[in-house]
Amino acid sequence: MKKNIGTIDKVIRIVIAIVFAVLFFTNVVSGILGFVLLALAAVFVLTSLISFCPLYWPFGLSTDKKTE
């Protein structure tokens, strides 16, 4: 897998994941929407850790300046 997520993109994804997790665990968002947000948070963290976003790949997008 060729890296396609840059540093700023990683930070944004992690921050959004933290916000989603906090909303879920403080019961601000619950039910199905809460679980969907929690799943999205997990995906954001995973894609940040591996520096690859499968949704960017088919469109040839990259926020990583090193691979452009």
Q: Quote the CA–CA distance of 7 and 11 in Å, as a whole number.
A: 6
Contact of 4 with 56, CB cutoff 8 Å: yes
Domain boundaries, the chain: 7-59
pTM of the model: 0.86
| pLDDT surpassing 80 at residue 1 | no
pLDDT band at 67 (very low <50, low <70, confident <90, very high): low
- Per-residue model confidence (pLDDT) at position 66: 77
DSSP states of 21-57: HHHHHTTSS-HHHHHHHHHHHHHHHHHHHHT--TTTG
- For 20-41, what is each residue's pLDDT tens digit? 999 999 999 999 999 999 999 9
Q: Quote the CA–CA distance of 2 and 17 in Å, as a whole number.
A: 23
